[in-house]
Amino acid sequence: MRDSAGGPRVLLRRLRELMAEALDPQERLDHIVREIAQNMVAEVCSLYVLRADSMLELYATEGLNPGAVHLAQLRLGQGLVGTIAASARPLNLSDAQKHPAFTYLPETGEEVYHSFLGVPVLRAGRTLGVLVVQNRTMRHYREDEIEALETVAMVIAEMIATGDLARLTRPGIELDLSRPVSMTGLPFNEGVGLGHVVLHEPRIVVTALFNEDSDDELDRLETALDSLRLSIDDMLSRRDVAFEGEHRAVLEAYRMFANDRGWVRRLKEAINNGLTAEAAVEKVQSDMRARMMHMTDPYLRERMSDFDDLANRLLRQLMGRGPDALAEILPKDAIIVARSMGAAELLDYPRQKLRGLVLEEGAPTSHIVIVARAIGLPTVGQVKGAVSMSENGDAIIVDGEDGQVHLRPQGDVEEAYAEKVRFRARRQKLYQELRDRPTETRDGVPVDLMMNAGLAVDLPQLAQSGAAGIGLFRTELQFMVAAAFPRVEAQERLYREVLEAADGKPVTFRTIDIGGDKVLPYFKGAQHEENPALGWRAIRLTLDRPGLLRTQIRALLKAAGGRELRMMLPMVTEVSEVRQARDIIDREVRHLSRFGYLLPTRLKLGAMIEVPALLWQLEELMQAVDFVSVGSNDLFQFVTATDRGNTRIAERFDPLSVPFLRILRQIVRAGDQYGTPVTLCGELAGRPISAMALLGIGFRSISMAPAAIGPVKAMLCELLLSDLSVVMEEALANHSASTDIRALLRDFANKHSIAL
Ligand code: PEP
Ligand code: MG
């Protein structure tokens, strides 16, 4: 076996010089393959580039017939080169022609070569091409030679990604990197967004590829690894609630990976081959990502994503960059692409620049999705592979109506969507015209359409949507976006602002609903819980920490001085909890009145019906409160025992089903019986079809995301409610629990020309 001439360091140095020279792209490639062949003492070095039509085209060669360049091609999966591209793994063969996948391309004249080493050209886990060296003699390439060729492939990946080679493509042919990709997920919030990709966890672009001194780079790597390990240990030793449960498991995985000897060894090898520490992290990670794409085990894929996050953290350590540097250079039509993200993180982006959200995870009633809906962001969730397929700045379209995401769309797709946006604008205009019409059904039944809100940014929507008031103000959102517990003054300020914006329209403030999936990173009181949704949350937590509740009640009472104040308690399980809360409120009222504060003119206290146990206390409850509001997100979660944040079962059961609608109707009836107003403020209120069902079983007030008011009102104005009530009554009384209520509703809508 012959030794390489000069080793990978010399080769990388030569490549660096070649990159800096003023050459045209083909010349540069020709030089590069020649250098590689010489350096690796190979007779052949060839580069194949993957095109959008899944063909691998020969782009440059040293040793094969030069006339075959841009002519010889193999399908993805075909021949040795196609196999390497499809599997994203190297192939090292001493007698290539004996390999079952070997395909002979006569135009190349490669029949005289026996040994073959090919590596995938990878970037961010995507295969962009294949780099091959060949020798006449039968030899087996060494590990360090494979490593060296992979390192060189990384440099070539960079050339492809920066568009250097795009100029060499024939007209009408595109490289795979710029291939349009359409992905399907679940529509989480309607609307269509056209814009450009912003990766929430940006892949850091490594620009300095070659090192000057490997020892220095190894030192930098060690230092960065040390601080990475320390920061993980530090996070693990904190007992914050934010680092419990799932989050803790992820951190444990990080710690394991950060100490993984194989990973560290591969990083060091890449540095010894001449890369900077950053480029080494990028290379090792890209290799792993490419392999991950071929894994089917969801658990392993998930762990690999953790590894990805870890590599990004390490890169940030090395580059001394904060996680949010990108927000500053946000395009004005940003579409955020993320694996998953916290509700508060979304609010960190300037709203006016956001056009849409794409999540690989998420569920329709998870809080990130509720916040996206609150700020009217077209959202598609559960889009597999969205992050790895996207590059910052790629053109992208999010269709929140049918759950489609189009990455790097072609002209005709873009045109179709521009038309869709124009159509929506016309519909929006129709909703605006409807806004000033009375909100009543075709047969004259008035209905209150209220909106849900939670932050000051939502307030302009009150006038724009024509909502009758705020049926649910989620006060915990202020807590979730803050760095520490908001002080009483800050709370009072927000509540006052809300009441002023409402200008006499009713506003229902829900006392803080934290715990469960609404985590406050600064709240030290909570502990790890096996089942947080069933745990210490909402009213349970605030009754145990009356200081928290008292502060909020005081802020509310002061802000509503001289006005009506409506307060609502979340997650009530027993009527006695309402009584305890009322005691605290009464005490605060007495306290403020003693100090001469202006008090609310009227105080109404309501309870949310979210816990099934309340269904057997309706009589007592209706008499103990001034109003109730059904939290259908939680009620449905508990009634059907399906975690509202769990993507796997998100669509499994339908709230528009006989059993759940029977429950809701029972609540309406109990309210009627005791003269207690009943409303519903879960996500069910916001879709025309489910809003129609709610009206049909007796609801006359519902609260939804502001963007839903127009479509729901359009449905309502066409609705003959008396007819629908008969249909629903009959369906819930006589039909079996498996009757398809959704089909029944669609049928009714069709017959009456109601657009759903
Ligand atoms: C609900 O549970 O339906 C609800 C409105 O409350 P949240 O979604 O904030 O839990
Ligand atoms: Mg709830």
Task: Dump pLDDT digits (tens) for 572-630.
Answer: 999 999 999 999 999 999 999 999 999 999 999 999 999 999 999 999 999 999 999 99
The residue among 670 and 214 whose pLDDT is bigger is: 670
Task: Considering every ligand atom shown, identify the ligand nearest to the alpha carbon of residue 512 and give its number.
Answer: 1
pLDDT for the residue numbered 599 = 97
Angle between helices 632-639 and 658-674 (to 10 degrees): 130
> Residue 239 Cα, ligand 2 centroid: separation in angstroms?
26
Q: Which ligand is nearest to the CA of 679?
A: 1
Distance CA 260, CA 256 (A): 6
To test ligand 1's pocket by mutation, which of 610, 683, 702 has the most ligand atoms within 8 angstroms of CB? 610
Mean pLDDT for 379-404 is 90
How far apart are the CA of 755 and the centre of ligand 2, in A? 29
User: Average model confidence (pLDDT) for the chain?
Assistant: 88
Q: How far apart are CA 510 and CA 503, in angstroms?
A: 19
Report the residue among 451, 678, 681 best suited for mutation to probe ligand 1: largest number of ligand atoms under 8 A from its CB: 681
Classify 173 as helix, strand or coil: coil
Nearest-atom index, ligand 1, CA of 634: 2
CA distance 48 to 58: 4
Domains along the sequence of the chain with CATH: 4-160 (3.30.450.40), 179-201+325-422 (3.50.30.10), 212-322 (1.10.274.10), 434-750 (3.20.20.60)
Predicted pLDDT of residue 323? 46
pLDDT at 58 over 50: yes
pLDDT of residue 18: 87
451 Cα–ligand 1 center, Å: 13
pLDDT at 674 over 60: yes
pLDDT at 243 over 60: no
pLDDT of residue 250: 59
Nearest CA to ligand 1 atom 8: 633
Model pLDDT for residues 435-444, shown as the tens digit of each residue:
989 999 999 9
Contact predicate 405/183, CB 8 Å: yes
Distance between Cα 680 and ligand 1 center (Å): 10
Measured in Å, residue 174 CA sits from the centre of ligand 1 at: 47
pLDDT of the residue at 548: 94
* pLDDT over 80 at 189, yes or no: yes
pTM over 0.85: no
Report the nearest atom of ligand 1 relative to the CA of 474. 9
Query: Over the stretch 268-283, which tens digit does the pLDDT of each residue have?
Result: 988 988 889 988 998 8
Whether 457 has a pLDDT exceeding 90, the answer reads no
Instruction: Quickly state the pLDDT bin for 119 (edges 50, 70, 90).
Output: very high
Q: Measured between alpha carbons, how far is 32 from 61 in angstroms, rounded to an integer?
A: 9
Atom of ligand 1 nearest to the CA of 629: 5
Residue 3 has pLDDT above 50, yes or no: no
Q: Indicate the pairing of strand 192-199 with strand 395-399.
A: antiparallel
Say whether 322 sits in a helix, a strand or coil: coil
| Count of beta carbons in the 10 Å neighbourhood of residue 649 | 13
Question: Tens of pLDDT along 687-724?
Answer: 999 999 999 999 999 999 888 999 999 999 999 999 99
Q: How many CA atoms lie within 13 A of 383 on its CB side?
A: 32
* Helix, strand, coil content of the chain in percent (nearest 5): 50, 15, 35
20 CA distance to ligand 2 middle (Å): 59
> Average pLDDT, stretch 736-753?
92
Neighbours of ion ligand 2 (CB under 5 A): 631, 634
Q: Looking at ligand 1, which residue's alpha carbon is closest to its atom 3?
A: 631
Question: Which of 283 and 37 is assigned the larger pLDDT?
Answer: 37
Q: What percent of the chain has pLDDT over 90?
A: 55
Q: Which ligand is nearest to the CA of 685?
A: 1
Biggest CA–CA distance in the chain, Å, is 100
* pLDDT band, very low/low/confident/very high, at 5 (cuts 50, 70, 90): low
List the structure tokens of 667: 């609540």
CA of 363 to the centre of ligand 2 (A): 14
Q: Which atom of ligand 1 is found nearest the CA of 681? A: 5
Question: What is the per-residue pLDDT across 164-174, written as a single tens digit (0 to 9) for each?
Answer: 787 888 887 77
226: number of Cβ within 10 Å: 12
User: Ligand 1 atom 1: the closest Cα is on which residue?
Assistant: 631
Mean pLDDT of 324-339: 78
H/E segment holding residue 559: helix 546-559
Distance, in Å, from the CA atom of 674 to the CA atom of 556, rounded to the nearest integer, reads 28
Nearest protein Cα to ligand 1, atom 9: 474
Assign 343 a pLDDT band (cuts: 50, 70, 90): confident
Choose which residue among 633, 642, 663, 690 to substitute to test ligand 1 binding: the one with the highest number of ligand atoms within 8 A of its C-beta.
Answer: 633
Ligand 1, pocket-test mutation among 541, 608, 630, most atoms within 8 A of CB: 608
Per-residue pLDDT, 437: 93
On the question of pLDDT at 321 being above 60, the answer is no
- Among 465, 472, 469, 479, residue whose Cα is nearest residue 501: 469
* Ligand 1: lining residues by beta carbon, under 6 Å: 370, 472, 474, 513, 610, 631-634, 681-682
Q: Tell me the average pLDDT across 214-227.
A: 91
Q: How far is CA 572 from the centre of its chain?
A: 31
